[in-house]
Amino acid sequence: MTTAALRPLDSEPMLEIQQLSVRYGRAVHALRGVSLRVPANGVIAVLGSNGAGKTTLMRAVSGTLPMHRGIVDGGEVTFDDASLLRRDPADIVAAGVVQVPEGRRVFGRLTVEENLRAGAIGARDRRSRTAARERVYATFPLLAQRRNQRARLLSGGEQQMLAIARAMMAGPRLLLLDEPSLGLAPQVVAQVAEVVRQVSEQGTAVMLVEQNAAMALALAGHAYVLELGRVALERTSAELAGSDEMRRLYLGVADDGGHVPARARRLARWSG
């Protein structure tokens, strides 16, 4: 693959990552000169196989990298022209950047309502928390019906929706979603995708790291493909979805001879 020149997006970037390099310990380089932009509206997708550096990228933006002994050894991450590097994760949330980590990680012993309250800890006052909760319940009516149910009793799809809803309680301007479809049945993936679409349409920018390439490209206006810690491809989603290289290597589409490359078979869980 060849690395494409960084293309201009439709609006000025809200989040800009420039030549970011990250390592774990002295030898493991997880990111090598990664550059990408997230505009103030819409969805940006980040695709790549396991070990490509997607989760490390999320950690660098959310400020949680030091918790995993990761070190930024080059580049910059800015949000509204202010650096996010070496800032406390709570400060980054207060600035408007909120991450939904892989694996949902809801508080199982707490009710839906209590999980949402936990997401609004940083809210300025009770009125703000109440308004946020009303917006969330309007977006997630199923959660409104289950507000008194313990989170551990929800289905996997419902827990994923709760994880997103809890993040929305903080009033993010940029939502970082790490593999929201992982482990979900296809019909539930479609429901999660619709939730992400609604969140975007309500004015929250979304950076979507996703193992389901078909879903991600359907939602995003622009996409980046990471490979071995570098940006290998960068295009509009329509261009990537129609690319023979993308379809063959990442969507598992057979070539003219009916053969699916070995690499595509290893990435079979990407197919929508």
Flag whether 3 is in a domain. Answer: no
Q: Quick one: which of 255, 236, 257, 237 has its CA closest to 245?
A: 255
Domain around 168 = 13-270
Flag whether 118 is in a domain. Answer: yes
Flag whether 6 is in a domain. Answer: no
Find the CATH number of the domain harbouring 114: 3.40.50.300
pTM: 0.83
Q: What does the alpha-carbon distance between residue 272 and residue 186 come to, in Å, rounded to a whole number?
A: 8
Flag whether 262 is in a domain. Answer: yes
Domains held by the chain: number: 1
Flag whether 102 is in a domain. Answer: yes
Flag whether 203 is in a domain. Answer: yes
Flag whether 1 is in a domain. Answer: no
Q: What does the alpha-carbon distance between residue 75 and residue 65 come to, in Å, rounded to a whole number?
A: 14
- Sheet (strand 222-227) strand order: 97-100, 174-178, 205-209, 43-47, 222-227, 230-236
Flag whether 4 is in a domain. Answer: no
pLDDT one digit per residue (tens) for the chain, 272 residues: 333 333 444 456 699 999 999 999 887 899 999 999 999 988 999 998 888 999 999 999 999 999 999 999 999 999 999 999 999 999 999 999 999 988 778 999 999 999 999 988 766 678 888 888 999 999 899 999 999 999 999 999 999 999 999 999 999 999 999 999 888 888 889 989 999 999 999 999 999 998 788 899 999 999 999 999 999 999 999 998 888 777 665 654 444 443 334 333 333 333 22
Q: What does the alpha-carbon distance between residue 170 and residue 264 come to, in Å, rounded to a whole number?
A: 38
Alpha-carbon Rg for the chain in angstroms? 18
